Chains A and B, each alone.
Chain A
Amino acid sequence: MSSLGHRLKSLSLALRMIVASAVLAALVASVFAVLINAVSGLNDATRREAHAKDVTAATLRLEKLVLDLETGVRGYILTGEDGFLKPYREARQELDSGRLQEFERLASTNPEQARRARNLTTAIRQYEQDYAVNLLNIARANPPAARDFVAREEGQRRTDEIRGQFTNFLAAENALAAASAGSADRQADRAVALAIAGLIASTMLIILFGIYLARSTARPVRGVAQAATRLAGGDLSTRLDEKGPGPGEVGELKVAFNQMAEQLERGRAELESQNERLRESERLKSELVSIVSHELRTPLASVLGFTSLLLTREVSPEEQRRYLEIIDAQGRRLSSLLNDFLDIERLEEGQLKLARELFDMGTLVGEQAQLFAGQSEKHKLDVVLPPRPLPVRGDPDRMAQVVANLLSNAIKYSPDGGTVEVVGEREDDRVRVSVRDEGLGIADDLQEQVFGKFFRGDAPASGIAGTGLGLTIARSLVEAHGGTISFESATGEGSVFWLELPIAANDR
């Protein structure tokens, strides 16, 4: 039962309607069949009644003919007058013209009646041949003998017997007709009852069908409509239970509805996250402006402060020189800060135009190392380069800026000197440049911020100059070349920074 119900649920709306209509049609058709059957039964009964009337009429007619025979014979014998023989002759003529055969044929519908009819016709023929004809012959030859014969009531006996048979026959016929009429009546009653029951069943079925349609179709459709209203009202998380009741079409509607809601929600989420990204970039921008102004003010405070000291106070020549050195250094710092800001700005806006030249990274690293070699007496610069070139496609000036930044950091952050090792090498399809120092290193808890803007580690406290933007720029530049930049470091042991760039297709 439940599996049938389940199967019903999965049927399509159209199929359900067809099934329901077919059930209704079958019910109505069977009610009509019962009615038609009842009507034809009544027809049969009517026909049987008419037949019974015919049989009765034929029987009465025969009975009258037999009576005529008897009356004619008796009158002629008693009176001897020929006039009495007129009904006798007419009766015989009529009997011979096929009355008997017709009577037998009429009675042949019922085997019992047919047998009775045959007995009757035989009795009538016997009466006619054996008794009436013989007696008339006797009467013509010897009237008193015939009268004696009649007196003995032979004729009376025979006709009484025939009449008795007629009475039996008619009674049986009437009984048959009555039985037929009774069965027709019962059949009609049953048909009326069946028709009423069928009508009630059909009506109920139609009502049930309506309720079923309302429940299985209208209700789910209303659910979809309500969900659509919620969706239109802005609740994009609205979803329909796809497994709920309802025919196939409603199920498809629900699936389509959910897909639509899904799409809408995804679209809105995308817009919102886009908005969020815009807001975030706006926030970062204003933060940058704020940081930049702060970063500029700090060296500016030194420049202005020491300048005003020099202008307003008496200071010894040594102090004068120290202050001027500070002013000079801070002025330069301001200048490089501004350059770095511009670089950062252009990199972030994607406005920095990068050349797409083919160049040898090995040569570039060698040149940069040469530039830095003379700058510090405390540091020893080891340069390791392969014999073959390291072809890279990109902007050589910008790559030189990156390598210079790594070298400068290595020297700056190893204030006690030591070896700075620069290695250029080919690694599979990448060119790798690493710069290792034996300097201060970077504390574990600070390593995450190394590439962040304005990160300078402990540099400000140690008096190491810098803007805190060099590595930020370096990473942007390397990434713009399709490369990566990374480092390893341990406090007190030094750091190694390396960059990897895709190797250029060989020397073409």
Chain B
Amino acid sequence: MGGSGSPLPPSIYSEPSRFLATLRAFPSVQTGPAKTILICEDDRNLRQLVRVVLGDGYRFVEADTGREALDLAYKLRPDLIILDLMLPGASGFDVLTELRAKLPGDETRVIVMSAWGHADEAALNAGADRFVAKPFEADELTSVVSEVLGEARG
């Protein structure tokens, strides 16, 4: 749980999908200057959309359940988590609450992205940096992400 860095605990290897996701993410964490974004969203198409919209400037890690998102967050310490609220198993709120209890806000930013348009206040109260409602505009998402990551708008 609280172990930082390698060696990775066996749980990461126990499920193929997690293992793959970890492999995909690892090189960028260790070497690249690009920032890591963890996309936690159970709809595959939307994950792809986010990836495409944000472009090649980031390293992406994907999780489709809340539990997986937490595991990846602790292992990889991503710069940003884009978090859906309606997730199978642990909900986005559960993930957010636990994250905020364990990871400092200036290290890991969280953007909550949800079709629950009226959940913005609750998400911000739970520790989210920003809230984006689905469906979202491509420009809106890119500007919010660069703002949160402290990047100059380009």
Contact = CB atoms under 8 A, between A and B. Distances in A.
Is chain B found bound to chain A in the same assembly?
yes
Interface of A: 290, 293-295, 297-306, 308-309, 312, 326, 329-330, 457-458, 460-461, 463
Contacts of A304: 135
Given A300-B134, A303-B135, A460-B64, 8 more contacts: A294-B115, A298-B43, A298-B134, A301-B49, A301-B135, A305-B49, A305-B53, A461-B42
A293 B115 contact: yes
Report, nearest first, the 4 A-B pairs whose CB atoms are least far apart.
A297-B115, A301-B135, A461-B64, A301-B134
B65 A461 contact: yes
Max chain B Cβ within 10 angstroms of own Cβ: one of A290, A312, A326, A461: A461
B64 A308 contact: no
Interface string B47-83: 0110011000000000011000000000000000000
Interface of B: 42-46, 48-49, 52-53, 64-65, 86, 88, 115-117, 134-138
Contacts of A329: 45
A310 to B, nearest CB: 11
A460 B41 CA distance: 9
A460 B49 contact: no
Contacts of B64: 460-461
B62 to A, nearest CB: 10
Contact of A458 (B43, B45, B46, B88): B88
A312 B141 CA distance: 14
A294 B64 CA distance: 17
Given A293-B115, A297-B115, A301-B115, A460 B135 contact: no
Contacts of A309: 49, 52-53, 138
Given A293-B115, A294-B86, A309-B53, A301 B138 contact: no
Given A297-B115, A309-B53, A302 B65 contact: no
Nearest to B137: A308
Interface of A is mostly: helix
Max chain A Cβ within 10 angstroms of own Cβ: one of B43, B48, B88, B135: B135
A457 B86 CA distance: 13
A461 B44 contact: yes
Contact of B46 (A290, A293, A302, A312): A302
A456 B138 CA distance: 28
Max chain A Cβ within 10 angstroms of own Cβ: one of B42, B45, B65: B45
A303 B53 CA distance: 13
A294 B116 contact: yes
A308 B138 contact: yes
Given A294-B116, A297-B134, A301-B115, A460 B42 contact: yes
Contacts of A306: 45, 49
A302 B43 contact: yes
B138 A298 contact: no
17 contacts: A290-B116, A297-B115, A297-B134, A300-B134, A300-B135, A301-B135, A302-B43, A302-B46, A302-B49, A305-B135, A305-B136, A309-B52, A312-B138, A329-B45, A457-B88, A458-B88, A461-B44
A294 B45 CA distance: 16
Nearest to A457: B88
B46 A298 contact: yes
A277 B68 CA distance: 38
Contacts of B52: 309
B59 to A, nearest CB: 20
A297 B136 CA distance: 10
B113 to A, nearest CB: 9
A295 B137 CA distance: 18
A326 B45 CA distance: 7
A308 B43 CA distance: 18
Nearest to A446: B88
Nearest to A311: B138
Contacts of A330: 45
A293 B53 CA distance: 24
Contacts of B88: 457-458, 460-461
Nearest to B42: A460
B115 A463 contact: no
B2 to A, nearest CB: 27
A460 B42 CA distance: 6
A299 B49 CA distance: 11
A101 B65 CA distance: 145
A301 B53 contact: no
A107 B24 CA distance: 154
Nearest to A462: B44
A243 B43 CA distance: 69
Contacts of B49: 301-302, 305-306, 309
B99 to A, nearest CB: 20
A303 B45 CA distance: 10
Nearest to B118: A290
Contacts of B44: 460-461, 463
A458 to B, nearest CB: 7
Contacts of A305: 46, 49, 53, 135-136, 138
Contact of A460 (B43, B116, B136): B43
Contacts of A301: 46, 49, 115, 134-136
A463 B47 CA distance: 11
A298 B53 contact: no
Contacts of A295: 115
A449 to B, nearest CB: 10
Nearest to A458: B88
B116 to A, nearest CB: 6
Contacts of A290: 116
A194 to B, nearest CB: 97
